[in-house]
């Protein structure tokens, strides 16, 4: 396996160039997939035999929940890369992905509680999945707050990396303990109807939406990372020529 | 190595004995928080007994959290931490001694005090064994995990609230298992499962968290 690709990632300039090529692909894929998935899921997919039309929020809720968890995993991976290989790009990725992941968690929570109103009859139940999502949101808040509290950029990135790794080790423990707590305490008043094996007309649009959300997440994080790279490298010559070029183009147009 | 460990423990004990107020504060806090709940929810003994497992555990958790803010602060300010980082001994051994001392003087003290307060909340006496055992297994986890947060925030001026934000979500499994054990005992069920889980969490945090604490201290000192 060639590692040149990995080593090149250490260079902000190289990353800026390559990500400029990825970004339009990811962005357009996200737009098309999310549009297609939304129309397909909201209009063409059949109704649920129990929940009627209210189940259609699944097409936003589930992709957001996927991204919320993958986002935290991404933070931990970036943390390991940053601590082991001292790669600045990993610091930037950690810092830029954390707020996006937190928003995804928030969306999953809000859509979950909106979904809960017609199906369970209340906005919030201390259901195991909802509760562990809420804790995940707090974990994201912790990383964001720690990153902002430490003024030195390098130590802030390292501290966030350590916290993300500690968090990711704890995440499964938290998840299982919450599930266990729930089965012990919660009387069976609200039983989530066991997920029936969904027909293909239902899960295909969901799959499209999940892939679309991943592309969207990738595109947003890349955009934020590119901005951060420009900001950090603003004194280097390549950024200056880049900015001068774009100003020149803006002036002539 | 063991000699060094004992030496550090003695130093910590001596330091804490010179400032007995710091020793007493978490305990007083624990007692006050427990006393607040009957005032808030009413003095009915049935209700209080039903709530007591949760109350004892939440109060213990907050008391440990409160004591963590000062865990590395003194050593950070007088420069001892820098010497630790520079010393030829592995940092995790030094850190483990520090956390062990913290646990003996707050965690273990809470364990000793807890039966009195649990009695006031109406917890039946046959549950005291489980209460003591669950706190004995759970408070080291609280100290160790909390020390990770304390190490990361020691260089900050106002780290206290941030520390709570970082650490409380990580405390949730201990809270669930600890109060779950007491609840099971209260309802006449065996609590072995929860206690075994608490024990394994303690072993896990004892083996892994010293490295995270060490990494956190290096970052804070290096700043």
- From B148, B162, B197, residue closest to A145, measured CB to CB: B162
Asked if residue A194 has pLDDT above 60, the reply is no
Tens digit of each residue's pLDDT (9 = 90 or more) over A197-211: 567 777 888 899 999
- Test the B interface: residue of A152, A163, A164, A176 with most B CBs within 10 Å: A163
The whole-model pTM stands at 0.89
CA distance A177 to chain B (A): 6
**B174 → chain A, closest CA residue:** A177
CA distance B108 to chain A (A): 24
Mean pLDDT estimate for chain A: 85
**B170 → chain A, closest CA residue:** A170
User: What's the CATH number for A14-44+52-188+200-245?
Assistant: 1.20.120
| CB within 8 Å: B170 and A167 | yes
The token pair that represents A115 in the structure block: 């979904």
Would you list the domain boundaries of chain A?
14-44+52-188+200-245
Per-residue pLDDT, A250: 65
Tens digit of each residue's pLDDT (9 = 90 or more) over B112-131: 999 999 998 988 888 999 99
Q: How many CB atoms lie within 10 A of CB A135?
A: 21
| CB within 8 Å: B176 and A146 | no
The token pair that represents B46 in the structure block: 């049935």
CA distance A139 to chain B (A): 7
Asked if residue B80 has pLDDT above 60, the reply is yes
Task: Tell whether B33 is within 8 A of chain A (Cβ).
Answer: no
Residues of chain B positioned with their CB less than 8 A from the CB of A150: 155-156, 223
- Test the B interface: residue of A84, A126, A159, A183 with most B CBs within 10 Å: A159
CA distance A160 to chain B (A): 9
Per-residue pLDDT, A1: 59
C-beta contacts of A220-227 below 8 A and 24+ residues apart: A220/A100, A221/A93, A221/A96, A221/A97, A221/A100, A222/A19, A222/A22, A222/A23, A222/A26, A223/A23, A224/A96, A224/A97, A224/A100, A225/A15, A225/A19, A225/A89, A225/A92, A225/A93, A225/A96, A226/A16, A226/A19, A226/A20, A226/A23
Asked if residue A193 has pLDDT above 70, the reply is no
Tens digit of each residue's pLDDT (9 = 90 or more) over A113-170: 888 888 878 888 887 788 889 999 999 999 999 999 988 888 899 999 999 999 998 8
| CB within 8 Å: A145 and B159 | no
CA distance to A126, B174, B189, per residue, from B184 (Å): 20, 15, 5
Task: Tell whether B155 is within 8 A of chain A (Cβ).
Answer: yes
Instruction: Quickly state the pLDDT bin for A191 (edges 50, 70, 90).
Output: very low
Instruction: Quickly state the pLDDT bin for A252 (edges 50, 70, 90).
Output: low
Per-residue pLDDT, A184: 60
- What backbone phi and psi angles, to 5 degrees, belong to A52? 65, -135
**B159 → chain A, closest CA residue:** A149
Under 8 Å CB pairs connecting chains A and B tally to 76
Which residues have a Cβ under 8 Å from the Cβ of A239 and sit 6 or more positions away?
A230, A233
Tens digit of each residue's pLDDT (9 = 90 or more) over B1-41: 788 888 888 988 888 888 888 888 899 999 999 999 999 98
């Amino acid at each position: 396996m060639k590692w040149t690709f990995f080593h090149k990632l250490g260079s902000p300039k190289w990353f800026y160039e390559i990500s400029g090529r990825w970004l339009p692909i990811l962005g357009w894929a996200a737009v098309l997939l999310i549009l297609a998935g939304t129309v397909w899921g909201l209009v063409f997919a059949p109704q649920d035999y129990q929940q009627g039309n209210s189940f259609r929020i699944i097409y936003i809720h589930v992709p957001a929940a996927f991204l919320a968890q993958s986002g935290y995993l991404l933070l931990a991976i970036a943390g390991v890369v940053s601590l082991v290989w001292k790669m600045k790009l990993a610091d930037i990725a950690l810092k830029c992905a954390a707020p996006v992941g937190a928003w995804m968690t928030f969306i999953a929570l809000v859509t979950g509680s909106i979904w809960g109103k017609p199906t369970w009859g209340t906005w919030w139940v201390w259901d195991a999945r909802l509760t562990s999502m809420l804790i995940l949101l707090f974990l994201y808040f912790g990383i964001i707050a720690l990153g902002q509290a430490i003024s030195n950029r390098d130590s802030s990135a390292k501290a966030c990396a350590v916290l993300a790794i500690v968090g990711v080790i704890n995440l499964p423990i938290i998840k299982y303990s919450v599930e266990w707590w729930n089965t012990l305490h919660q009387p069976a008043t609200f039983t989530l109807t066991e997920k029936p094996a969904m027909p293909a007309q239902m899960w295909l649009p969901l799959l499209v939406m999940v892939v679309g959300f991943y592309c969207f997440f990738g595109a947003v994080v890349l955009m934020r990372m590119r901005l951060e790279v420009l900001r950090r490298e603003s004194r280097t010559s390549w950024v200056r020529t880049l900015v001068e070029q774009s100003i020149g183009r803006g002036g002539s147009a | 190595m063991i000699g060094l460990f004992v030496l550090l423990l003695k130093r910590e004990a001596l330091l804490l004995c010179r400032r007995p107020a710091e020793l007493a504060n978490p305990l007083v806090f624990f007692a006050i928080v427990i006393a607040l709940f009957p005032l808030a929810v009413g003095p009915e003994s049935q209700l209080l007994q039903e709530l007591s497992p949760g109350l004892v555990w939440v109060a213990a958790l907050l008391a440990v959290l409160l004591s963590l803010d000062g865990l590395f602060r003194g050593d950070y300010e007088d420069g001892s931490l820098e010497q630790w980082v520079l010393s030829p001994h592995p940092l995790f051994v030094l850190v483990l001694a520090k956390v062990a001392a913290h646990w003996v003087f707050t965690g273990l003290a809470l364990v000793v005090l807890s039966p009195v307060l649990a009695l006031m909340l109406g917890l039946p006496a046959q549950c005291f064994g489980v209460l003591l055992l669950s706190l004995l297994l759970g408070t080291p986890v609280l100290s160790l995990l909390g020390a990770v947060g304390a190490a990361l925030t020691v260089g900050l001026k106002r780290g206290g609230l941030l520390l709570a934000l970082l650490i409380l979500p990580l405390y949730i499994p201990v809270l669930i298992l600890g109060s779950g054990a007491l609840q099971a005992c209260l309802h006449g069920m065996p609590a072995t499962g929860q206690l075994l889980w608490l024990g394994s969490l303690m072993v896990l945090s004892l083996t892994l968290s010293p490295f995270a604490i060490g990494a956190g201290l290096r970052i804070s000192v290096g700043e």
